[in-house]
Chains A and B, each alone.
Chain A
Amino acid sequence: MAHVHESNTGRIWKVFWFLSAVTIVEVVLGIFKPESLHMTNVLGTNLLNWIFIILTLVKAYGIVWAFMHMEGETPALRRAVVWTVIFLVIYLVFILLTEGSYVFGVFKNSTIKWNF
């Protein structure tokens, strides 16, 4: 088992403060919702939502890398876990959000009203 035995508490607390700071930024933006971000649309949703999604991915990276100690594992294990989830999820989400928008268009513009 490739693990060091010295204490990493300093780094652990640093990552905690980083995650807390990112969360505070997200919450503040979520409460105030600045108009310039909230009402500008890019690629399907507004800029504020894109900021939330990117910050969430940053937090996920911090948790997996530092807290779950992925940084200490072999590259093969890292890739087997992370690439699987990332590629499958991106693919699935792309399909479902595209289809969802399409169905919204059908409900709005045509005569079908039942939930198909």
Chain B
Amino acid sequence: MGATVTSNSVEKTWNGGNEPFKASYGKLMMWFFIVSDALTFSGFLAAYGFSRFKFIETWPLADEVFTHFPFRHGVNMPMYYVALMTFILIFSSVTMVLAVDAGHQMKKSKVAFYMFLTIIGGLIFVGSQAWEWKNFIKGEYGAIETKGGSILQFVNSKGERIKLEDFADISIPKEREQLTRGKGKWFEEESSIPTYSVEQIQAGFKSHPDLLVRTEVIFSEETAKTTIGAHPTLNDKEFHTKHKTVLTREQSEKMMANAHLVVEGANLQRNEYGSKLFADFFFFITGFHGFHVFSGVIINIIIFLNVLLGTYEKRKSYEMIEKVGLYWHFVDLVWVFVFTFFYLV
């Protein structure tokens, strides 16, 4: 309210019988919900920032984790697919605004067309996110978890990443086999055990003398001072880029003696990319966001059907498109922040 507030105009605005914010009840309630949901997501992202800052030197590098692109098997393409997903969501936001705009002009077929495009965009986004999850869960190279809980990855003498399957010694018999309902006496079942056992990996490591271990620690000026056994040539001593520390063969063998588990892919407890919290937060936050996109798509479908049925023509107002559009833009807004803090920063 302006500087010339008299009690009369305050009463007129706030004593009932009108719209103080000049917006309808429905729209105001949608804004209310959006503020509360925005604060929820902010809480999640702030918690992610907290955890990441706690483990800032050992957090995985996004370019090394998100490297897949559809129909390009084995090609390292960091960032491209998630950039495409961002464009798809922005584009669906645009078609949503165009639907709202057509609604203002009461053009039913135009509204229907743009709503349809928005729904398609939303479905493509959810599908893409599911595909990213699949690749993330499956993993690519595999890793060893030490007794202290750190992740060790493997590189060859040129510094290239090596997969567990390339050197695991499968002649050594695995002691554990998968327990299923048919085998357990008390109808037990367990989560799947890794493809290789720790003994197989340790033996394979011994018999491939050119293999080296890569730790979780990012090689920087501070960490270089205190790291024991850093490889003299494979680490960037001029600190031009951020990369993980590669150890000498001797130090690698010492670390391998501490091997405790084989980690392949990712679940909520541990992951082959680094800190245990990394996958946990990734699933939680992108999962929450994906759920919002999915529910947004469902709501959009319902509204789309109502447009086709002529509900809003009868009502003489397409304000429902606006309200649903607010929710859809909110979903896009959250993605913009998630994209920045998970993939870029």
| Contact call B39/A85, Cβ cutoff below 8 A | yes
Scan A1-36; emit 1 where CB is below 8 A from any B CB, else 0: 111110111001100100110010011001101010
Question: Could you say which residues of chain A place their CB within 8 Å of the CB of B90?
Answer: 16, 19-20, 23
Determine which of B46, B91, B343, B345 lies in contact with A49 in the assembled complex, contact meaning CB atoms within 8 Å.
B345
| Contact call A76/B1, Cβ cutoff below 8 A | yes
Closest to B220 in A: A39
| Contact call B42/A38, Cβ cutoff below 8 A | no
Question: Could you say which residues of chain A place their CB within 8 Å of the CB of B104?
Answer: 3-5, 7
Instruction: Given A12-B97, A85-B35, decide whether A39 and B22 contact each other with a Cβ distance below 8 A.
Output: no
Instruction: Given A5-B104, A31-B79, decide whether A92 and B43 contact each other with a Cβ distance below 8 A.
Output: yes
For A, the interface residue count at a CB cutoff of 8 angstroms equals 56
| Contact call B101/A73, Cβ cutoff below 8 A | no
Determine which of A2, A38, A96, A108 lies in contact with B22 in the assembled complex, contact meaning CB atoms within 8 Å.
A2
Closest to B31 in A: A81
Question: Could you say which residues of chain A place their CB within 8 Å of the CB of B55?
Answer: 104
| Contact call A13/B56, Cβ cutoff below 8 A | no
Rounded to whole angstroms, the CA-CA distance of A20 and B21 in the bound complex is: 32
- Residue among B83, B87, B344 with max Cβ neighbours from chain A (10 Å): B344
Q: Min CB distance, A81 to chain B, in Å?
A: 6
Determine which of B20, B56, B242, B337 lies in contact with A38 in the assembled complex, contact meaning CB atoms within 8 Å.
B242
Question: Could you say which residues of chain B place their CB within 8 Å of the CB of A49?
Answer: 344-345
| Contact call B345/A52, Cβ cutoff below 8 A | yes
| Contact call A30/B56, Cβ cutoff below 8 A | no
| Contact call A103/B54, Cβ cutoff below 8 A | yes
Question: Could you say which residues of chain A place their CB within 8 Å of the CB of B50?
Answer: 96-97, 99-100
- Residues 60-116 (chain A) with a chain B CB within 8 angstroms: 60, 63-64, 66-69, 73-74, 76-77, 80-81, 84-85, 88-89, 92-93, 96-97, 99-101, 103-104, 107-108
Rounded to whole angstroms, the CA-CA distance of A1 and B318 in the bound complex is: 12
Closest to B86 in A: A23
Closest to B107 in A: A7
Rounded to whole angstroms, the CA-CA distance of A77 and B293 in the bound complex is: 25
| Contact call A60/B344, Cβ cutoff below 8 A | no
Instruction: Given A92-B46, A100-B54, A103-B54, decide whether A74 and B333 contact each other with a Cβ distance below 8 A.
Output: no
Question: Could you say which residues of chain A place their CB within 8 Å of the CB of B23?
Answer: 1, 73-74, 77
- Residue among B24, B55, B87, B345 with max Cβ neighbours from chain A (10 Å): B345
Determine which of A7, A27, A63, A85 lies in contact with B101 in the assembled complex, contact meaning CB atoms within 8 Å.
A7
| Contact call B94/A39, Cβ cutoff below 8 A | no
- Residues 19-70 (chain B) with a chain A CB within 8 angstroms: 20-24, 28, 31, 34-35, 38-39, 42-43, 46-47, 49-57
Question: Could you say which residues of chain B place their CB within 8 Å of the CB of A8?
Answer: 101
Decide yes or no whether A53 CB sits under 8 A from chain B: yes
| Contact call A68/B22, Cβ cutoff below 8 A | no
Rounded to whole angstroms, the CA-CA distance of A100 and B42 in the bound complex is: 16
Instruction: Given A23-B83, A60-B336, A107-B54, decide whether A81 and B343 contact each other with a Cβ distance below 8 A.
Output: no
Question: Could you say which residues of chain B place their CB within 8 Å of the CB of A99?
Answer: 50
Taking Cβ atoms with an 8 Å cutoff, the residues of A that contact B are: 1-5, 7-9, 12-13, 16, 19-20, 23, 26-27, 30-31, 33, 35, 38-39, 45, 49, 52-53, 56, 59-60, 63-64, 66-69, 73-74, 76-77, 80-81, 84-85, 88-89, 92-93, 96-97, 99-101, 103-104, 107-108
Kindly list 12 other residue pairs between chains A and B, CB separation below 8 angstroms, not including A30-B79, A31-B79, A67-B94: A4-B104, A30-B343, A33-B241, A49-B344, A60-B336, A63-B329, A64-B333, A68-B326, A80-B21, A96-B47, A96-B53, A104-B57
Selected A-B contacts with CB under 8 Å, 30 pairs: A4-B104, A5-B104, A7-B105, A12-B101, A16-B94, A19-B90, A20-B87, A26-B344, A27-B83, A35-B240, A38-B241, A38-B242, A53-B340, A63-B93, A63-B332, A64-B329, A73-B21, A73-B23, A76-B1, A76-B21, A77-B22, A77-B23, A84-B35, A88-B42, A89-B42, A96-B50, A97-B49, A100-B56, A101-B53, A104-B53
